[in-house]
Amino acid sequence: MANPWRGDVALVIDGKRHVMRLTLGALAELEAGLQTGSLVELAQRFEAGNFSTRDVLALIVAGLRGGGWAGRASDLTTAEIEGGPMVAARAAAELLARAFMVPEQADGGA
């Protein structure tokens, strides 16, 4: 089960449900692999709707790795993502947002 407070986002790839999360290691790998900019700039691109398919793929790969997947980006070139590219982009954006979300306190924020 995906736990949103841990930053989990689920994605179905080739008929198999994967739970993705951006761990510190996955974030470091993501930042090292970005062609341009920092994680802040990546978040800004998503907020503005100016992200690329490369951004989506990098986030999906990092999230999968953070969830324990041992594959490579090239493994996803022929993979079928349930819901298509829009679902993949939405999952990538949600993954990035959840990585930096601070959970509300249980008592209503007091």
* pLDDT per position as a tens digit, 63-86: 999 999 999 999 998 999 999 999
User: What pTM does this model have?
Assistant: 0.84
Residues in the chain: 110
Q: Is the pLDDT of residue 35 over 80?
A: no
Q: What is the distance between the alpha carbons of residues 55 and 66, in angstroms, rounded to a whole number?
A: 16
pLDDT band at residue 1, thresholds of 50, 70 and 90? low
Give the single-character DSSP code of 102: P
